[in-house]
Amino acid sequence: MTAPPRTILDRIGNTSLIALRHVRPARGARILLKLENENPTGSMKDRMAVAMIEAAEADGRLKPGGPVVEYTGGSTGVSLSLVCAVKGYPLDIVTSDAFSREKLDHMRLLGAALHIVESDGGRMTEALTKAMIAQAGIIAQAKGSFWTDQMKNRDQIAAYHRMADEIWRQTDGRIDGFVQSVGTAASLRGIAERLRHHSDALTIVAVEPAESLVLSGGPSGAHRIDGIGAGYVVPLWQDGIADEIDRVSTEEATAMAFRLAREEGLFAGTSTGANVIAALRLAERLGPDATVVTVMCDTGMKYLKTFGAALAADA
């Protein structure tokens, strides 16, 4: 008999991988979606949050009951709020009104103290990212907090190595392409590194907002795809991580999120929409005998009010 989990944190990982049935190219590769919405907070960020905290516990950077601080667009904050609630660490989160109200409420419900940095009309910009980082640094210094500092923290990469191993096992090693959008770049980097350890004969595609083409060498800009596109080249990004960089607009990503819900019954956020747009493009090029894997980054339940407003505007 399998032992029951000790805490909810033991339910992180080992998520399902399913094939898209309707949202797929007519003569292209099959597309498999890693269902990270199955994690406890409904997001892949649960993986990195527990990895960062446990690494800091192990080497003494985080003492029992010590304070933690982070800046976040939402999903990382929710995941850290869960981990800190279970482990008993007070948590300060620096975030913004640019991100979904559902995520902010979820963090508060899990006990985090929120510090809100106002955005430029609800848009994600380089200036907003850097203002949030600066505020987190001030709090860390004032309270002596352990700052997880997700944009620079390499401890999280191991969590995505494990995710890549899951993907490899679930596909029986039959994978020709992997597609992932870039926020901190940790998930793309960790998964790509590990998949290439198994086989270097696959195509890795990074996805960024079409409105902010910094990874492609273009100008920084504002967009509304939660969790990706920081507006500058993030520290964990490395040239050569990806074979290609694809660009997806907020409008395209939102439309695909709605399509996934209506045609596949998969209710996801806009970063997932961006992933699937890019995966479709890659699948068309690779042909019918190939397999492309991408990620359902989180559940659309985190964006109910945002999506409801978009639906009302279209009505």
Per-residue pLDDT of the chain (315 residues; tens, 9 = 90+): 566 779 999 999 999 999 999 999 988 999 999 999 999 999 999 999 999 999 999 999 999 999 999 999 778 999 999 999 999 999 999 999 988 888 899 999 999 999 999 998 888 888 998 999 999 999 999 999 999 999 999 999 999 999 999 999 999 999 999 999 999 999 999 999 999 999 989 999 999 999 999 999 999 999 989 889 989 999 999 999 999 999 999 999 999 999 999 999 999 999 999 999 999 999 999 999 999 999 999 999 988 877 877 777 776
Examine the domain organization and report whether 298 and 230 are in the same domain. Answer: yes
Examine the domain organization and report whether 211 and 65 are in the same domain. Answer: no
Among residues 247, 271, 292, the alpha carbon closest in space to that of 23 is found at 292
Examine the domain organization and report whether 310 and 183 are in the same domain. Answer: yes
Residue 87, domain member (yes or no): yes
Cβ(296)–Cβ(276) below 8 Å: no
Quote the CA–CA distance of 36 and 236 in Å, as a whole number. 21
Cβ(34)–Cβ(293) below 8 Å: yes
Stated as kind and residue range, the H or E segment containing 252 is helix 250-264
Distances (CA, A) of 166 to 78, 172, 196, 233: 23, 10, 14, 28
Whether 45 is a known active-site residue: answer yes
| Number of separate domains in the chain | 2
Q: What is the CATH number of the domain that holds 92?
A: 3.40.50.1100
Examine the domain organization and report whether 166 and 140 are in the same domain. Answer: no
Examine the domain organization and report whether 194 and 300 are in the same domain. Answer: yes
pTM for the full model? 0.93
Residue 153, domain member (yes or no): no
Structural domain for 308, as ranges? 8-38+161-314
Residue 279, domain member (yes or no): yes
Spell out a b/e string for 124-142, using b for 16 or more CB atoms within 10 Å of the CB, else e.
Answer: bbbebbebbbebbeebbee
Among candidate residues 96, 119, 212, 271, the one labeled active-site is: 271
Whether 271 is a known active-site residue: answer yes
Examine the domain organization and report whether 276 and 170 are in the same domain. Answer: yes
Among candidate residues 34, 45, 103, 302, the one labeled active-site is: 45
Quote the CA–CA distance of 32 and 44 in Å, as a whole number. 16
Residue 154, domain member (yes or no): no
Residue 181, domain member (yes or no): yes
Examine the domain organization and report whether 288 and 216 are in the same domain. Answer: yes
Residue 156, domain member (yes or no): no
Spell out a b/e string for 234-264, using b for 16 or more CB atoms within 10 Å of the CB, else e.
Answer: bebbeeebbeebbbbbbebbbebbbbbeeeb
Residue 1, domain member (yes or no): no
